Structure formats: structure tokens, C-alpha cells
A and B are shown apart, each in its own frame.
Chain A
Amino acid sequence: MLWIPVVIIAVLLIWSVGAYNGLVRLRQRVKNAWSQIDVQLKRRYDLIPNLVETCKGYMKHEREVLENVTRARTQAIEVKGGAAEQAKAENFLTQTLRSLFAVAENYPQLKANENLLQLQEELTSTENRIAFARQYYNDQAMKLNTRTEVFPTNLISQSFGFKKVEFFEVEIPEERQPVKVSF
């Protein structure tokens, strides 16, 4: 009758390995999702100098709009704080970009500029990518958090120190509709 406890222990071991690996996979996915947000934010920083350069030639009177964008970009890059601090800076950058495109409406020549249209598409896409990266991060974070708390996987997560991760909070209400972006 010795084989009964042996079988039970073997089954438990196999299950534990599976549960542990599942948690590791999820944690990896959460990490990747987080870095994807950074990649997309960087993509936006890279697009902005080009945008400012294109608008400069046409916008004679609204210099401060352009300067605001440049300043907001620098602030966002240099921000040293937590995710909340970063989100605030990014939201400010989004707002300055919106006012820039609103002002661009007054310049028919600029509006028809092929370069600007391309940049506008790239920026729209980047905003969507940022929103989707956050959404994917939150989805995966929720899965990981559920898995670490639900019985019986919580036994594994507690013994191996898996912690709950924070959600990416968005403060501005309009930001909640990621795909409705229009400048």
C-alpha cells in the first residue's frame, strides 16, 4: 500500500510545477507588456521633433504652441518618478499635441502638407499603441493578480513570492476611449 502516498505526492508535484510555470509565464507577459508601453512612448518622443520642424515653416504666429509641445516632450522624457508621475507628463504631452493639431486647422497649406498628414497618421497610431499596450498590460496584470489570489494557486504564489502588480491608471476621462483619438 506504499504506492498510494507516492502517487499522491507525484500528482501534487506535477501540479505544482505546472502552476508555478503558469505564474512565471504570466509574470513574464506582464513585464513584456510594461516594456511595450515604454517602446511606444519612445516612438512618440521620436516623432515630435519632425512634427515641430514641419509646422515651423508654416506657423508664424503661434510659436508658443510649438514651444509647449517641445517643452512637454522634454518634461516627459526627463520625468523621474513613479508610473503616476509619468502618466501625468504623458497626458500633458497629449494635450499640447491636440492643441497643436487644432491650431494647424487654421493653415490650409499646412493641412494639405503630405509630410504632416503622414506624421498625423503615425501619431494617431502611436496614441492607439500606447492605449492598447496599457490595456494589454492591465488585462495580463488582472490575470496574474487573480491567479496569485485564487485557491489553490495562491499556495504556490505565496511560497515563491509572487506579488500582485499594479494597474496602469488613467486619470483623464477622454483617455479611457483609446480608439476615439482624433486631433
Chain B
Amino acid sequence: MYEEISQNKRNSFILIIIFVAGIVFLGYLFGLVAGFGPGAMIFAFIISALMALAGYFNGDKIVLAVSRAQLAAREKYPQLYNIVEELTIASGLPMPKLYIVHDGDAPNAFATGRDPAHSSIAVTTALLNRLNRTELQGVLAHELSHVGDYDILFATLIGILVGMVAMFSDFFLRYTFWTGGGRRKNSSGGSGAGVLMVIALILAILAPLFALIIQLTVSRQREYLADANAALMTRYPEGLASALEKISRNPGVLEVSNRATQHLYIISPIKSIRDRKKSSLFSTHPPVAERIRRLRGMAGNMASGVKADGSLT
């Protein structure tokens, strides 16, 4: 547990460094191609540093706003508050802020924030309407596990930075495409500029792809771990297993999710049912059938492993 936390913090730090360095390098290339010189690099550094800071301190707000999540009123959702409060007792974590995504077709949920004291959990209205109490408890325990081991910090940063990288390279591609690197006549290296432009183009295409692969490989392992922690928290793995079954059987597509936020959700919000069953390099989540199988396996172990006092042997 403590290892997970420090690993997540370290990864988040490395991610920020790589992000800033990457953007500065892109700025450098951009400066060469467009003929702005080192000024573009300094500009890129300031912008990327500001974005990394914004991602750290306000990443949760950005993710929640992009997902059109609204703060849940306790009077309107007493059961949601009850279940999460129960789980904070079971886990010893502080109470997160609760949000609602108004989508009546796609049951799903995600957690975001930078640490347990600044965390938020969002659920869709379809999740509240279609799952029973123990299933909801399983899903919320899974999200609270992400909060507890600081997965939310890394996942939120990844989401923000993936979005940024995509935006940057998009801008970069369009600029060089429209102007054809028009100002290169003013720069000193006249003939080399064409080669640089090609390199820059390749980089602009590769950057978001790299970001995507990091996003994918990291989040898949974390899902299994959060499932296991949720089972330990509730001592009832069947709740989450049956919830996953229900959610994955639902064909509804979550409109508000996108490429930068999909890895945050408990089940991939944009994949079709058929795709959810198999795992490939490009799926952010492990196959649901495998997750359910592991949870049901735990249920068997727990029945024999729980002592009369409720503690695990």
C-alpha cells in the first residue's frame, strides 16, 4: 500500500518532468521550423510549466468540468452519501466530494483529485438507477481504492497532459501545414529546414501516441489492484463483480468521456461491448470477464479465510 503511494507520487513527478521537457523540445523544433529562434523554447517552457502546475492543482476541476459533472446535493442523493460514508469508515479515508454526471444511458464512475484530502468521485445517473445497493457499494469502493493509493493523482495528470500534448501537436501540425514553414527563409539554416520540418511532423504524430501508450499500460494494472482493494474494503467481492457484469452488458456510450479521460472510468466508457471482452495494446482497461473472474475467485477465498472477528487470516 505505502509502496503504491510513493510509486504513484514518483511516477507523477517523472511524468511532469518528461512533459515539460517534451514540450520544450517541441517548442525548440517549432522555433527552428518557423524561424522564431530560442524565444519559442522559452515560451514553451513557461506554458508547459504553467500547465503542469494547473494539472496538479486544478486537474480534478478540469476533468470534472470536461465530464460535465455537477456537485451532488446530499438531500437529493442520500443513499450515495450513505454508501460513501460507510466506506470511509471501512477504509479510514477522508470523505471525498461527490459528483453526478447526468447520463441516463451509460452506467459508469470515476475518481479524480491530487490526494485523499482533495478527492472527488463522480457517478452517472444511470449507475445510480440500475445498480442495487451492494453493487453500488462495490463500484464506490473501487473508486475509493483509487483515491487511497494515489492512482487519482497520476491518472488525472495523465488525462490533462495527454489532452495538452494532443492539443499542442495538433496546433503544430496545422501551423506547419498552412504556412509550409513559410518563415524558414529568415532563419540561418535554409536547406536544413525541410528535413527539420519532417522530423517535427513525425514527432508531432508520435508524441500523442506515446502519451496514449503510457496511459494504457499504467491504467490496466491499476484496475486489478483497485478491484482487489475494493473487495478487501467491503469483504464482499460479489457486489463489484455483479456491478461490472451489469455495466459491461450495457451498450450505452458515455457522451461526455473522451480520449483524455477514458482511462479514469471504472469500465472503458467508449468501447463497444465486443471490444470490452478482449485486451489489446490499445485498451485502457483489462477485459471485464477477467476482472469478474478474479473477483469471484476472491469470494471463494474469503469465505474460507475470514475468521469470526471479521479479520482476514
- Given the complex of chains A and B, what is the CA–CA distance between A177 and B134 in angstroms? 12
- Given the complex of chains A and B, what is the CA–CA distance between A33 and B88 in angstroms? 12
Contact with B along A119-152 (1 / 0, CB 8 A): 0011011001101111110111010000000000
A132 touches B133 (CB 8 A): no
- A98 close to chain B: CB less than 8 A: no
Query: Which of A133, A142, A179 makes the CB contact (< 8 A) with B235?
Result: A179
- A18 close to chain B: CB less than 8 A: no
B92 touches A29 (CB 8 A): yes
Interface residues of chain B: helix, strand, loop or mixed (majority): helix
In the complex, what residues of B have CB within 8 A of residue A134's CB? Answer: 310
Nearest to A122 among chain B residues (CB) is B82
Q: How far is the CB of A117 from chain B (nearest CB, A)?
A: 10
A180 touches B90 (CB 8 A): no
Q: How far is the CB of B140 from chain A (nearest CB, A)?
A: 12
Nearest to B311 among chain A residues (CB) is A138
B86 touches A169 (CB 8 A): no
Query: Which of B87, B137, B311 makes the CB contact (< 8 A) with A142?
Result: B311
In the complex, what residues of A have CB within 8 A of residue B85's CB? Answer: 125, 129
Q: How far is the CB of A144 from chain B (nearest CB, A)?
A: 12
In the complex, what residues of B have CB within 8 A of residue A140's CB? Answer: 92
- B99 close to chain A: CB less than 8 A: no
- B79 close to chain A: CB less than 8 A: yes
- B78 close to chain A: CB less than 8 A: yes
- B47 close to chain A: CB less than 8 A: no
B90 touches A135 (CB 8 A): yes
- Given the complex of chains A and B, what is the CA–CA distance between A134 and B309 in angstroms? 9
Contact with B along A161-182 (1 / 0, CB 8 A): 0000001111000001111100
Interface extent on A, as a size class? 20 to 34
Nearest to B234 among chain A residues (CB) is A179
In the complex, what residues of A have CB within 8 A of residue B87's CB? Answer: 132
Nearest to B88 among chain A residues (CB) is A132
In the complex, what residues of B have CB within 8 A of residue A132's CB? Answer: 86-87, 89-90
B309 touches A129 (CB 8 A): no
Contact with B along A24-59 (1 / 0, CB 8 A): 000001000100100010000000000000000000
- Given the complex of chains A and B, what is the CA–CA distance between A65 and B306 in angstroms? 34
Interface residues of chain A: helix, strand, loop or mixed (majority): helix
- B281 close to chain A: CB less than 8 A: no
Residue tally, chain B, CB below 8 Å to A: 23
A169 touches B92 (CB 8 A): no
- B154 close to chain A: CB less than 8 A: no
Q: Which of B124-143 contact A (CB under 8 A)?
A: 133-134, 137
Q: How far is the CB of A165 from chain B (nearest CB, A)?
A: 12
B82 touches A125 (CB 8 A): yes
A170 touches B90 (CB 8 A): no
- A74 close to chain B: CB less than 8 A: no
- Given the complex of chains A and B, what is the CA–CA distance between A120 and B87 in angstroms? 19
- Given the complex of chains A and B, what is the CA–CA distance between A180 and B183 in angstroms? 70
A169 touches B311 (CB 8 A): no
- Given the complex of chains A and B, what is the CA–CA distance between A118 and B82 in angstroms? 11
Q: Which of B289-313 contact A (CB under 8 A)?
A: 306, 308-311
In the complex, what residues of B have CB within 8 A of residue A169's CB? Answer: 308-309
Of B83, B85, B137, B309, which is in contact with the most chain A CB atoms at under 10 Å from its CB?
Answer: B309
In the complex, what residues of A have CB within 8 A of residue B137's CB? Answer: 128, 179
Q: How far is the CB of A126 from chain B (nearest CB, A)?
A: 9
A139 touches B86 (CB 8 A): no
For the complex with contacts A125-B79, A125-B86, A170-B310, 8 further pairs of A-B residues with Cβ separation under 8 Å are: A121-B79, A125-B82, A128-B137, A135-B310, A138-B311, A177-B236, A179-B239, A180-B236
A-B contact pairs, 21 of them (CB 8 A): A29-B92, A118-B78, A121-B78, A122-B82, A125-B82, A132-B87, A132-B89, A134-B310, A135-B90, A135-B311, A136-B89, A138-B310, A138-B311, A140-B92, A168-B309, A169-B308, A170-B308, A176-B308, A177-B235, A178-B310, A179-B239
Q: Which B positions have Cβ atoms within 8 angstroms of A?
A: 78-79, 82-83, 85-87, 89-92, 133-134, 137, 234-236, 239, 306, 308-311
Q: Which A positions have Cβ atoms within 8 angstroms of B?
A: 29, 33, 36, 40, 118, 121-122, 124-125, 128-129, 131-136, 138-140, 142, 167-170, 176-180
8 nearest A-B residue pairs (beta carbon): A132-B90, A125-B82, A167-B309, A179-B236, A138-B311, A128-B86, A132-B89, A135-B310
